[in-house]
Amino acid sequence: MALQIYGDSISGNCLKVKWTADRLGRPYDWIETSVLKAETRTPQFLALNPAGQVPLVVLGDGRPLAQSNAIILHLAEGSDLIPADAYERARMLEWMFWEQYSHEPYVAVARFHVHYLGKAVADLDPKLVERGRGALKRLDDALAQDDFLVGGRLSLADVALVAYTRVAHEGGFDLADYPRVLAWVARVEAALGIA
């Protein structure tokens, strides 16, 4: 059985999984699963992922796996998307946990409210905007030295962080304020063939 990816095409978290599978040349069936239509809350879906979240993959042997970053770490094991050096691997994980805790909850959530729920940027919670800006600023600072986040080359840290950064403008953030981030987004998109 081929890998099955349950994903919503508007979700950066889901696209991370698609990009990683594509980059690895791993065949898969994409099962479009809409969050807005509550397709992640059906009894069938909840049986696969009690957290009611996409992405979810069903591996070749029928076993399910959830959480975008856990999925891409599993798919990419042994590939060049994960640094061989233990410290670089740890730094990659640091960025991936930081993404889910300090970036996605602001940058992705602002985009969801503005682009998909129709909220005005001016009506966003100021804390959300401030923290989203803080996350983008931190990325910009980190990219002062290197072309990619870890070890000078593409890794899952870039895949995880580019997902919502590249569409941050849809949440009212202006990437022109973060020129190194803007250049890095183009670089990662080119490396992933998604430009």
Please give the residue ranges that form the binding site for a copy of itself (CB under 8 A): 50-51, 59, 63, 65-71, 73-74, 77, 86-87, 89-91, 93-94, 96-98, 100-102, 104-105, 138, 141-142
- Among all chains, which residue has been given the structure tokens 């479009």? 32
Task: Check if the beta carbon of residue 159 is closer than 8 Å to that of residue 20.
Answer: yes
Q: Compute the least distance from the CB of residue 115 to a copy of itself, in Å.
A: 21
In the complex with a copy of itself, which residue's Cβ is closer, 75 or 175? 75
Question: Min. distance of Cβ 78 from a copy of itself in angstroms?
Answer: 10
Name the residue type at position 67.
Q
Give the Cβ contact number of residue 168 at 10 Å: 26
Write down the least CB distance from residue 195 to a copy of itself, Å.
27
Q: How many CA atoms lie within 13 A of 13 on its CB side?
A: 26
Closest approach, Cβ 94 to a copy of itself, in A, equals 4
Q: Which is nearer to a copy of itself, 29 or 85 (CB)?
A: 85
The Cα-based distances of 134 to 45, 130, 131, 169 in angstroms read 35, 6, 5, 15
CA–CA separation, 5 vs 71, rounded Å?
A: 10
Q: Which is nearer to a copy of itself, 6 or 169 (CB)?
A: 6
For the CB of residue 137, give the shortest distance to a copy of itself in the complex, in Å. 10
Closer residue to a copy of itself in complex, CB, 42/195: 42
Residue placing its CB nearer to a copy of itself in the complex, 56 or 162: 56
Assess contact for 164 and 114: CB atoms under 8 A: no
Cβ(166)–Cβ(189) below 8 Å: yes
3-state secondary structure of 62: coil
